[in-house]
Structure formats: structure tokens, C-alpha cells
Chain A
Amino acid sequence: MAAVQETIDAVAALEKYEHGFTSDIETEFAPRGLNADIVRFISEKKGEPEWMLEWRLAAYERWLAMEEPTWSSVKYTPVDYQSLFYYAAPKKKDGPKSLDEVDPEILEIYKKLGIPLKEQEVLAGVEGAPRYAVDAVFDSVSVVTTFKAELAKVGVIFMPISEALREHPELVRQYLGSVVPVSDNYFAALNSAVFSDGSFVYIPPGVKCPMELSTYFRINASQTGQFERTLIIADKGSYCSYLEGCTAPMRDENQLHAAVVELVALDDAEIKYSTVQNWYPGDAEGKGGIYNFVTKRADCRGDRSKVSWTQVETGSAVTWKYPSCILKGEESSGEFYSIAITNGHQQADTGTKMIHLGKNSKSRIIAKAVSAGKSDSTYRGLVSVHPKATGVRNFTQCDSLLIGKDCGSHTVPYIEARNGSAQLEHEATTTRLSDDQLFYAQQRGLSQEEAVALLVNGFVRDVMQKLPMEFAVEAQKLVAISLEGSVG
């Protein structure tokens, strides 16, 4: 019964949203609102080169000319872009960043979140436990990045993107915006204008990154938006696994998180990108919570390159994102494994796009959605095959599980085949939690909540198995917690 006890403990120990605490950190803000001067302010704060400022200003101009999209199935109170703070950074002394200089209160926050920021803490763990390097992004800035030196030994660059702009401007300039162009969509344009930090990763040719890389995003200040930008380049024959986690305090207001993530995989390179998204989802009445409007895209430029997206989406009031793969390289492959769990008044419109341009490119999509309470969940996805892409294969499976009478679950796949040699398969099912299975589990002594957690964990298992181990454990607990109170 150990597993059962663990579930009970997990549910009991962690309240509805364990990361919802607020921290009083002295914060420096940019003036409220958005205009060209704010863009200049952010760029200046970051000490960016002139071309970067021009790039941002051009993005801002494009954003002004664009209209906020309305085609998704999510409904939300419009964001007042002029009432937000676009830059919020914990105050710190000038000088080189070392862990000792990071505000102890911030360190305390990460300790509470269970994120190891001290390298020795990671090392002091169980022998043989996987190590991972962390870039901790707090509101608009990266506060600390661990294992930088060790990674540099093998040539891996892992640092905040603001630092990369100073130290490796040529790399950033070459790749930034090459996967998600500035004018790609409304939120990407906004992000391009005002992004303040995020992670930059470059894996040199032939290098297998010796440890997991991870970024932990935390929104702390109120009335801010978080706009981070992540750029990962895997050069020929390299490999890296990257994890992303996010939390925010519980607040009555809706906060905007509009990130852009760009991945570039060259010949024979592989990137595994995993996300456990646990932004504050709002309270039981649907008040507050994060708007998670994110553009994530991978460019499989090289032949035989591979990108795998795995996401567990349990948080946010509104999630609207489609991690995608442009499969340009011959025999390139893209994978998308997703679990989206919505409860309360949460809404999620998520899925993927697999754009097959290269010959013999392959893709695989496994999406599992669980809706409970008054929530709504939509899978929206595209599989498209270019006329010149011969020998393309795709397999898509979307399963939805409904718990309760007031939730909704939708599936909107687009399949576009323009080549006769393509083989595309798609299947989707929607069902509810089986009464028989629930009864059986309860009859064996599980409480109703444990039984639900057990069945849901079974339902999402295919995707769970794709997560790196340390994330899988966390994700499994999240599934149980997110669905708390959804039955009965």
C-alpha cells in the first residue's frame, strides 16, 4: 500500500496550489505601460548592442499593426497592455553575479520550490542521481545559472539570453527569430519587443550534453507580464535534454505570460524539450491565474535531426500554445507528447503542428487531455505534408477523458496531405472515467480520490513515460493534485 500512502500524503501535504505563496522582494520596475521608450529602457537595462534595440523596435512597430487573434476556443478578459509592467527585476548590487550575491530571500523561494541552485546541493544528492544545471528566471531576469563552468568545459554554452547577447552576439544574431519570425503572431511580436530574459543554449558539434539543462520560471511581482525567450541550438550530431518548470503566486489578477521558445536542430542533432507547466490556475471561482500564451517551435533543419516535445500542462487559467516542429531535414523526426489537465474554470487550447517539408520525415503525436470541474480543453493540431516531401509518416493519437457534467473537451485536428506517398494516421477518442473501473478500485479499498488519481495516471501513462525521471515524479503528483475535488 506504499503507493497509496504516498498519494494520500501528496494530496494532504500539498494544498490546492502549493507554489502560490508570495514573496516580498524589493523589485525594480520599468514604468507601467508599453511604448517605444519602454522597449528602449529594457534594451538599455540589458546593455544590448544597437542591432538588438533596432530589432526590438521593429518588432514593436509590427505588434502595433497587428490585431489580437480570436480564433481559439478560449475566452478571457482582454489584457490591458498599457496597465502592465514590462520589466520587473529584483534589486541587486552591480558586479559579477555569483551565488553569494543573490538575494537570500530569492534563494529561499527556490528552496521552497525545491529547485537546487547550489551546485553542491545537487552533488550532495543520492549517489548516481542525475545532475541537472538550472537557469533560474525570476520575473524579468535570470538570477542565477548553475554549472556554467562545468558545461563550458565541453563547449556547451548555457546562460541567460541577455548574457549571451553580450558574450556570443554572433550566435544569437544568427538564430534569434529564425524559427519564430518577429511577425509570426501577435504574442510573438510582443515578446520580441519586450522580452527581458530566458535561456540560451548552444551545444557544439558532436557533443552530448553531460547533464540535463533546465530553466525554472517564477513570476513574483504583481501586475507584470513575463516575456521570456529561449533559444536552443543543437549543432551537428549533438544532443541535449532541456527541462522547463514554471510557477507563480496566487493573485486575484490575471497575469500574462507570453514566451517564445525557438529550437534549432542541425544534421543528426537531437533536442528533447520537457515542460511541466504549473502556473497559478486561478481560484475555484475562476478568479486570477496566468494567461499562458506561448509560441514554441522547433526547426529540424538538419538531415536526421530530431526534436521531441513533452509537456504536462496542469496550471494557468488559460493555456494557448502549440509546440511545433518544422521538419525540413531529410529523415528528420518530430514528436509531441502532451498531457493537459484542466479543472475549476481553467481553459486549455493546445496541440502541435508537424510541418513535413523533408523527404522521409516522421512525426508522432500523443495527446491526452483530462477535463474536470467547469473547465474546457481543446486539442488543436496540424499535420501537413508538402508536395515535395515523399515518404512521410505520421501517427497521431488524441484521447480525452471527461470527469463531471460541466466540463468540455474538443478535438480539432487538421490533416493536409499534398503528397501521394504520405501515410498519415489519426485517431481520437473521448470518454468519461469508467464507473466500473472506479467501482472496482474503490471496492479494493481505495478512496474515491485515490481511485481517480490511479485511473488518470493510467490514462496518461504513455506520455508520463517520456518525461525525464525527476520530472515524472513531480508530474505524477501534479496529476493527483490538479484533479482534487473533481469527483463527487
Chain B
Amino acid sequence: MSMIDLRDPSTFPSRRVEAWKYTDLHRVLRETPPPSPAVEIVFGGPFVALGGEEIAFANGRAVGADAFVASGEQTLRLRFVSAATGTGHSASVRIAVKPGARLTLLESHEGAGAGYVANYRIDLDVPAGAEVTRVVMVDEPADAISIAVAHVKTAPGSVYRQTTIASGARLQRQETHLAHGGEATAVTLDGLYALSGARHTDLTSVVRHNGLNGVTSQLTKGVVRDTARGVFQGKIVVERGADGTDARMGHHALILGERAEVDAKPELEIYADDVQCAHGNTIGNLDESALFYMQSRGIPADEARALLTQAFLFEVVDRIAHEGAREVVRSWLTARL
């Protein structure tokens, strides 16, 4: 669970809370939703073809194990399945990784039903010598509310890669808090959103560099159409003494609807001087001259637009280190563009 407790409406933040400035939970949720019923789900999910172990939560209830310890080379499909209408559920899960293990964590937020509220917390420890690739795919109904908060700890000498792909909901937030161990730890924290209708998604991350020579690379890209709203809040903190930190953050969005909205808050908080930190943020429309060029070559305007949008987003997909996951995401995204 996040700081939000579905049983206690006083924990539902409004936009007056700085960290929730662009995602006003209080506006869409004022009271505790009735608890979601128990449901049966089938084994599978979007990553089923990639094999591995499965841990699933159906309407917040663990189907089997509710924790996992990875050793050696493993693939884990972590599924959060919601099949509810107008009800709410919460779940939390802890994933541990043995030193030297290589884990591919394929996480899916699958939604069926309508107007449900889902609230998840994921704890993940990446020890020295371990390598974790986490791919999160969030695919929910347009009127759902979902919040997922991941707390990730990386030890010195580990590798952590994360890519979150979101298509939005009535209100959807994927939050990552990462304690960066420094020394020879490489972190990649990517995000991608493609929104249409009145969907809202919020990708929030806080990366805290505590050790020496930590490296963080962040790239988030998004496309919003119609009256959708994309929110990106990225914060990189370099604590006193975390010298040699190299952190880069990029957020780039395309607004393809006259009434769509993108809000970005890329933040740097730096207390060490021997650092290289940068962030870039661009928001705009498709390049008119590129569109014109493609049309002059005989490609219809709509197709040209789709191609350019796809090329724009695929930069993030191409960075997914796991080939199988990359292909799943690619075809999922292509179907939506």
C-alpha cells in the first residue's frame, strides 16, 4: 500500500499536497469504497508467453504466494488483476533478490470491470551483484482509479532497469521511490504513456543518490490526445557526499489534441559538488516539416502522423533490455496508436 489507506479517506491527497499537485485523488475519491469481492482469475497475463513464475493478486487477494525470493536467473510475472465494479482493494508485495541473481520482473496491472479503486505497494531490494529488469505495463478501464507505489533499494554494484508503460485511467499513478546505492550501480528509470479520451496518468519518481559514483538515466516520453492529461514528476536528489554522481533525466511529450494537457515537474536537488546532473523537458506537437516531407512522398497525413508518433515513442521501447518484453510492449503499443 502507498501512504494512502483506502479505509481512511483522510489519507486521500488533494492537489493542495505538493506531491499530488497534478493528480487530485481527493477530487475523484472522497469516501472509502466498498471492499472488492473475491474473484477467480486465470493463469496468464500479457507476458504469459515469456514463461517464468507467476505471482498474482486478484482484487487485492494473493493467489498463492504473496512474496518472492529470486535466485540465479529467473523471470517473475507479477500480476495485479482487478475485476470489480465500484469497489476498492489494496495489496502489497515484497520481492527479494539474492546477491548475484538476475531477475526479469514482468509486472502487469490488468483491469476488467469499471470504476474500481486499486492501491498497491511493491517493495524490491536489489543487492550487490544482482541485476533486475522490471517492466510494468498498466492497462486499465477508462474509469478506474489506481495507485501503485514501488520502493526500490539498490545496493552498490547492482544494476536496476525499469520501464513503465501506461495508458491511463480516470486517475492513474505509478510512483517509484529509489534509494540509489551509488558505487558502480547503474539505474535506468524509463516511462512511456499514450493517452486518449479523458484518461489521466501520472508517472512520479524520486531517485535518491546516497553513495559515490552512482549513475542514473531516465527517459520518459508520452503522447496525449483528446482531453487526456499526462503528468510527469521526476526528482533526483544527490545527498551530501554522493560525489561522482551522474544523473540525467529527460521528459518529452507530444500534445496531439487541442484540449489535452501535459504537466511536468523535473526536479533536481543537489547537495554535492562533484556531480554531473541534467534534465531536459520538451512539450510540443509533431514536426510540420517532417509531416510535409512524408506527405510529399505519398504517405497520407494520418499515416504520417502515426508513423512519427510511433517513432517518437519507440525510443523508450527500444531501451527495454529484455527482448521478449520489448516485443510484447511494442505490439501492445502499436495496437493502441
Task: Give chain B residues whose Cβ lies under 8 Å from the Cβ of A282.
Answer: none
Contact A409 B260 (CB under 8 A): no
Contact B258 A402 (CB under 8 A): no
User: In the complex, A402→B283 CA distance in Å?
Assistant: 29
Any chain A CB within 8 A of the CB of B273? yes
Task: Give chain B residues whose Cβ lies under 8 Å from the Cβ of A421.
Answer: 258, 285
Size of the chain A interface, CB-CB below 8 angstroms:
34
Nearest to B255 among chain A residues (CB) is A420
Task: Give chain A residues whose Cβ lies under 8 Å from the Cβ of B266.
Answer: 411, 413, 426, 428
Task: Give chain B residues whose Cβ lies under 8 Å from the Cβ of A427.
Answer: 278-281
Question: Looking at chain B, what size class is its interface with the partner chain?
Answer: 35 or more
User: In the complex, A432→B245 CA distance in Å?
Assistant: 12
User: In the complex, A430→B263 CA distance in Å?
Assistant: 23
CB proximity of A372 to chain B, nearest CB, Å: 9
Nearest to A396 among chain B residues (CB) is B281
Task: Give chain A residues whose Cβ lies under 8 Å from the Cβ of B267.
Answer: 410-413
Contact A413 B281 (CB under 8 A): yes
Task: Give chain A residues whose Cβ lies under 8 Å from the Cβ of B175.
Answer: none
Residues 275-316 (chain B) with a chain A CB within 8 angstroms: 275-285
Which single member of A71, A419, A425 contacts B282 (CB below 8 Å)?
A425
Which single member of B240, B268, B283 contacts A410 (CB below 8 Å)?
B268
Nearest to B265 among chain A residues (CB) is A414
Task: Give chain B residues whose Cβ lies under 8 Å from the Cβ of A429.
Answer: 277-278
Contact A411 B283 (CB under 8 A): no
Proximity string of chain A (406-424) to chain B, C-beta cutoff 8 Å, 1 when within and 0 when not = 1111111111111111111
Which single member of A71, A408, A415 contacts B271 (CB below 8 Å)?
A408
Any chain A CB within 8 A of the CB of B18? yes
Contact B284 A422 (CB under 8 A): yes
Task: Give chain B residues whose Cβ lies under 8 Å from the Cβ of A422.
Answer: 255, 283-285
Which single member of B261, B279, B285 contacts A411 (CB below 8 Å)?
B279
Contact A415 B279 (CB under 8 A): no
User: In the complex, A417→B231 CA distance in Å?
Assistant: 10
Any chain A CB within 8 A of the CB of B270? yes
CB proximity of B307 to chain A, nearest CB, Å: 19
User: In the complex, A402→B263 CA distance in Å?
Assistant: 29
Contact A420 B256 (CB under 8 A): yes
Residues 232-261 (chain B) with a chain A CB within 8 angstroms: 240-241, 253, 255-261
Any chain A CB within 8 A of the CB of B73? no
Task: Give chain A residues whose Cβ lies under 8 Å from the Cβ of B284.
Answer: 422-425
Contact B268 A432 (CB under 8 A): no
CB proximity of A179 to chain B, nearest CB, Å: 25
Any chain B CB within 8 A of the CB of A431? yes
Residues 55-84 (chain A) with a chain B CB within 8 angstroms: 71
Contact A410 B269 (CB under 8 A): yes
Any chain A CB within 8 A of the CB of B38? no
Contact B259 A428 (CB under 8 A): no
Any chain B CB within 8 A of the CB of A275? no
Contact A412 B256 (CB under 8 A): no
Task: Give chain A residues whose Cβ lies under 8 Å from the Cβ of B253.
Answer: 417
CB proximity of A72 to chain B, nearest CB, Å: 12
Contact B275 A432 (CB under 8 A): yes
Nearest to B275 among chain A residues (CB) is A430
User: In the complex, A412→B265 CA distance in Å?
Assistant: 7
User: In the complex, A426→B255 CA distance in Å?
Assistant: 16
User: In the complex, A404→B240 CA distance in Å?
Assistant: 11
Any chain A CB within 8 A of the CB of B272? yes
Any chain A CB within 8 A of the CB of B274? yes
User: In the complex, A48→B276 CA distance in Å?
Assistant: 56
Residues 355-407 (chain A) with a chain B CB within 8 angstroms: 387, 400, 402-407
Task: Give chain A residues whose Cβ lies under 8 Å from the Cβ of B278.
Answer: 427-430
Any chain A CB within 8 A of the CB of B76? no
Task: Give chain A residues whose Cβ lies under 8 Å from the Cβ of B145.
Answer: none
User: In the complex, A369→B18 CA distance in Å?
Assistant: 24
Task: Give chain A residues whose Cβ lies under 8 Å from the Cβ of B256.
Answer: 420
Any chain A CB within 8 A of the CB of B264? yes
Contact A423 B285 (CB under 8 A): yes
Contact B285 A402 (CB under 8 A): no
Contact A426 B270 (CB under 8 A): no
Task: Give chain B residues whose Cβ lies under 8 Å from the Cβ of A418.
Answer: 259, 261
User: In the complex, A274→B93 CA distance in Å?
Assistant: 56
Task: Give chain B residues whose Cβ lies under 8 Å from the Cβ of A402.
Answer: 270, 272-273, 275
Any chain A CB within 8 A of the CB of B262? yes
Given contacts A420-B256, A420-B260, contact A415 B283 (CB under 8 A): yes
Which single member of A407, A414, A424 contacts B273 (CB below 8 Å)?
A407
CB proximity of A429 to chain B, nearest CB, Å: 4
Task: Give chain A residues whose Cβ lies under 8 Å from the Cβ of B240.
Answer: 405-406
Task: Give chain B residues whose Cβ lies under 8 Å from the Cβ of A423.
Answer: 282-285
User: In the complex, A425→B268 CA distance in Å?
Assistant: 17
User: In the complex, A430→B255 CA distance in Å?
Assistant: 28
Task: Give chain B residues whose Cβ lies under 8 Å from the Cβ of A407.
Answer: 271, 273
Task: Give chain A residues whose Cβ lies under 8 Å from the Cβ of B274.
Answer: 432
Nearest to A414 among chain B residues (CB) is B265
Contact A428 B268 (CB under 8 A): yes
Which single member of A409, A415, A420 contacts B258 (CB below 8 Å)?
A420
CB proximity of A80 to chain B, nearest CB, Å: 28
Task: Give chain A residues whose Cβ lies under 8 Å from the Cβ of B277.
Answer: 429-431
User: In the complex, A419→B283 CA distance in Å?
Assistant: 10
Nearest to B241 among chain A residues (CB) is A405
Given contacts A417-B262, A423-B283, A427-B278, contact A403 B268 (CB under 8 A): no
Contact B273 A419 (CB under 8 A): no
User: In the complex, A74→B276 CA distance in Å?
Assistant: 24
Contact B273 A71 (CB under 8 A): no
Contact A415 B275 (CB under 8 A): no
Contact A415 B269 (CB under 8 A): no
CB proximity of B215 to chain A, nearest CB, Å: 15
Task: Give chain B residues whose Cβ lies under 8 Å from the Cβ of A409.
Answer: 268, 270
Residues 90-142 (chain A) with a chain B CB within 8 angstroms: none
Task: Give chain B residues whose Cβ lies under 8 Å from the Cβ of A404.
Answer: 273
CB proximity of B248 to chain A, nearest CB, Å: 10
User: In the complex, A130→B198 CA distance in Å?
Assistant: 57
A-B contact pairs, 25 of them (CB 8 A): A71-B18, A402-B270, A402-B273, A404-B273, A405-B241, A410-B267, A410-B270, A411-B279, A413-B267, A413-B281, A416-B262, A416-B263, A419-B258, A420-B255, A420-B285, A421-B285, A422-B284, A423-B284, A424-B281, A425-B282, A427-B281, A429-B277, A430-B276, A430-B278, A432-B273
Known: A413-B281, A419-B255, A424-B281. 17 other contacts (CB 8 A): A387-B259, A402-B273, A405-B240, A410-B267, A411-B279, A415-B283, A417-B263, A420-B257, A422-B284, A422-B285, A423-B282, A425-B280, A427-B281, A428-B266, A430-B278, A432-B273, A432-B274
